[in-house]
Amino acid sequence: MAISPARKIAFEILLRVESEGAYATDLLHEALGATIRREDAALATEISLGVLRRRGLLDFLLARQLKKPVTRLDLPVLVALRIGLYQLRFLEKIPARAAVNESVELVKRARKSSAAPLVNAVLRRAAAESTTLVEQWIPRETPRSEHLAILHSHPAWLIDRWLAQIGEARTVSLLEAGNHPPRLSCVLHDASKRAETFAALARAGLRVEDGSLLRDAFAVRGGSPSHTAAFRDGLFSIQDEASQAIPLILGVRPGDQVLDLCAAPGGKTSPLARAAGSQGLIVAADRHVHRLRAMEAQFHRVRLASVSLIELDASRPLPFSAPFQKILVDAPCSGTGTLARHPEIRWRLAPENIRELRVLQLAILLAAIRQLASGGRLVYSTCSLEKEENGDVVEAALAKSPGLRLAPRENVVRELQPHLAAGISAEPLIDARGYFRTLPGEQLCDGFFAAVLEK
């Protein structure tokens, strides 16, 4: 029996995610070139990311059928079982026979033919009970966080944190958002070319929707925008709306000297450079040379020639002789605000990683503060929801930096408001402390945090 291209691609991607620590979205971008049919690309994406989002639940269901823990299965066998079960449980348009038989063929193709009868038997039993509610198999005495962990496929330790910090209703909303495909959001680089850009995307067969927060944002459905002529011509970039908002609150003005630390992949650098204009100075730094090269290619696509790229470790004293008026610190973080977009993160992250990241984040922020000019402004941001990486880092930096203060809340609101879409208020996005926050399930974007600091 032939295996569909979509399932072959998903199988290989999921194997690499588990065995190499790769990221599914990067692998999908590599695999889904222009020669792949749109239907196959859509199914490969749905299966790859869907299996990663629902992995905890899938393994719970598989454990009921197996005589040994799922972790003792050979990886190709486990991946094939997850792929088959995901289709049976979550993809109503896929015939059960196709889901079962092609998973069996995937195992054979991986030279694990001896496991083919097991895969066939487990998935046939799973198909027979695919409409049964999972709740009836969860023991009544299961703690609430573990119950939610099974149903929503997130680690129980992370759910415990969120329950304590934001309550059950908001936690459940966050978990549900983490298990659904996020919007594919984009940013216009030239608002005067909005009609031209949208017409080009429509001709390519994509459906365009208005942004949910920002004036120059939009979302697309029905295909890959990166394969369009409008993308290649630099008319827009693909970027989550919360991520788009971060550089806007820095308030760069024409002629400013701007430092973008931890700048890769460069999506936040572009608006900084456009705001500073030809008379400004933009320095974008990252510690990885290959990421700087990728940024250079990105800037060439969007026709930005004014950015100076430099390799450096931002946690060490910075090598600049002159201060900068504006600095963006988009710090490396746990990424817990992006679990719908990067679902593998939830299975790799451990509590100690958050503590380790806090040390690195504080070192980077303090190095940046020392480089900030008197009267300057700095934005510290993460795509994390964890207080240790956000407010705790900012408060620690303030305690160590005399003369530094949080920007007044009304100033942050005033800076962001002009960039928002008609009818959208900045007020709900800025908390009482003046921190910018978004939360999946409450906004149609990733979860981001930002603090505006002034010297």
3-state helix, strand, coil in the chain (%, to 5): 50, 15, 35
Query: DSSP 3-state assignment of 142?
Result: coil
Paired tokens of 235:
């008319």
Instruction: Yes or no: say if 447 and 438 are a contact pair by the CB < 8 Å rule.
Output: yes
Report the distance separating Cα 83 and Cα 102, nearest Å. Answer: 9
Range 156-176 burial, b when 16+ CB lie within 10 A, else e? bebbbbbbeeeeeeebbebbe
CB atoms near residue 122 (< 10 Å): 22
Paired tokens of 280:
């400004």
Report the distance separating Cα 416 and Cα 180, nearest Å. Answer: 28
Query: Of 84, 79, 71, 95, nearest to 125 (Cα)?
Result: 84
Query: Of 337, 421, 437, 431, nearest to 380 (Cα)?
Result: 437
DSSP conformation letters of 226-250: GGSHHHHTTSEEE--HHHHHHHHTT
The active-site residue, picked from 186, 262, 333, 383, is: 383
Q: 189 to each of 218, 250, 257, 271, 315, how far by Cα in Å?
A: 11, 18, 21, 8, 31
Report the DSSP pairing between strands 449-454 and 372-382.
antiparallel
User: Does 262 participate in catalysis according to the annotation?
Assistant: no
**C-alpha angle 81/86/88, rounded to 5°?**
95
Query: Of 303, 319, 337, nearest to 182 (Cα)?
Result: 337
Paired tokens of 450:
């930002």
DSSP conformation letters of 358-410: HHHHHHHHHHHHHTEEEEEEEEEEES---GGGTHHHHHHHHHT-TT-EEPPHH
Instruction: Yes or no: say if 80 and 122 are a contact pair by the CB < 8 Å rule.
Output: no
Q: What one-letter code names the amino acid at 103?
A: S
Active centre residues (catalytic): 383
